[in-house]
Chain A
Amino acid sequence: MKISRKRFLQIGGLTLCAVACKTAVGELLDIGEGNSPSAPGAAPATRWAMVVDTAKCFKKDGCTDCIRACNKAHNVPAINDANHEVKWIWKESFENALPSQANPYGGEKFRDKPVMVLCNHCDKPPCVRVCPTQATWKREDGIVMMDWHRCIGCRYCVAACPYGSRSFNWVDPRPYIAELNPSFPTRTKGVVEKCNFCEERLVNGQLPACVAACPEKALVFGNVADPKSDVRQILESRFTLRRKPELGTQPNVFYLV
């Protein structure tokens, strides 16, 4: 069969068009599925989440039981210098914790009240996106985990986190730990750290240290993917807030106000 030069060019052009269209359509179809490791659309079996009941939390003035329990469980150093401090769970004024809810009128009663804040273990964590070494990643159960062995201390994640949940170890933290807990490693100078939702306790079927330590039961922890769990029941029956929802990070820490 003879093929003319014109026909050859026509077939070639059509083939190129088809390839380009397929790529474009493929890209469009992929939108929304993200790059989650699980099958697209499949609901996760476990999604750890926390509800902070601020009203209950305010009951006992000046209570720091959860902070102390966390610091002890994870060898969090107590560094007084604000430039070097390391925080896993801490108090933030209402205004700063939930800035989207601020309005210029009233609110004197609660404006300066402290709200417990911690890593939100976001569904779309910006810290994970920017980490160049995959030292931080999103686990299947929703925990934004850290591998301190792999952290190179570039602090991209610190810059990316809109909640200030990540702390960098500017100095060797060991001298600032009052009581060493051998069951959890300390960190070393030059790595970033943050709350890990007590994944080391969850493995043993224990609740996170802060939740277990709260005398008012103001912190509720559970699997939000389970319709019968406490957190899910609260989320379905009451109105809750999340920190900076407009950023689209989809936090897994909810606030009852």
Chain B
Amino acid sequence: MRDRGVIYTGLLTFLALMTFPVWHDLAAKTTSRGPEPVMPTREKLCVAPLSYMRTSHMNMLMDWRDAVVRHDVHSFKAYNGKTYNMSLTGTCLTGCHTNKAEFCDRCHNYAGVSVYCWDCHVDPKMAGRSAK
């Protein structure tokens, strides 16, 4: 054990490097932070209960897409009995979630999900503007 000093220094350096992300997050106080999406203020009720939307909004949007495009069905009877026009831009983004960047994007970025909805569907905030 004549090389004790070198070995322990090496081990410590290794441990410090490996655990660096943990220390970094602790220092930045980001470890316990969730995506914190900003909820809409205008409407209190979504087309479906929160728990369902949280886990299955993508399935619902796919169903909407198929109904509108392929079956020419446009109105959706919501859980609360109200009828909505099935439209991502027209209903979801215009009626309630006017803050796409703070609602949709925040959660998707947090979860590392990249969706291609926005390749075609337009955020109403971009209306009238050139897309450049």
Take A175-B131, A175-B132, A180-B131 as given contacts and tell me if A187 and B120 are in contact as well, using a CB distance cutoff of 8 Å: yes
Counting chain A residues whose Cβ lies within 8 A of the other chain, the interface size class is 20 to 34
The answer to whether the Cβ of A178 comes within 8 Å of any Cβ in the partner chain is: yes
> Smallest CB-CB separation from B69: which chain A residue?
A147
Take A149-B65, A187-B120 as given contacts and tell me if A180 and B74 are in contact as well, using a CB distance cutoff of 8 Å: no
Consensus secondary structure, chain A interface: loop
Contact residue among A180, A185, A188, A203 (Cβ-Cβ distance under 8 Å from B126): A180
Counting chain B residues whose Cβ lies within 8 A of the other chain, the interface size class is 20 to 34
Cβ–Cβ contact B72 & A139, under 8 A:
yes
Contact with A along B95-116 (1 / 0, CB 8 A): 0000000000000000000001
> Smallest CB-CB separation from B93: which chain A residue?
A182
Consensus secondary structure, chain B interface: loop
> Which residues of chain B have C-beta atoms less than 8 A from A147's C-beta?
69-70
Contact residue among B65, B72, B89 (Cβ-Cβ distance under 8 Å from A182): B89
Cβ–Cβ contact B131 & A183, under 8 A:
no
Cβ–Cβ contact B128 & A180, under 8 A:
yes
> Which residues of chain A have C-beta atoms less than 8 A from B21's C-beta?
none
Take A139-B72, A149-B65, A203-B72 as given contacts and tell me if A185 and B121 are in contact as well, using a CB distance cutoff of 8 Å: yes
* Residues of chain A at the chain B interface (Cβ within 8 Å): 75, 139, 145, 147-149, 174-175, 177-188, 199, 203
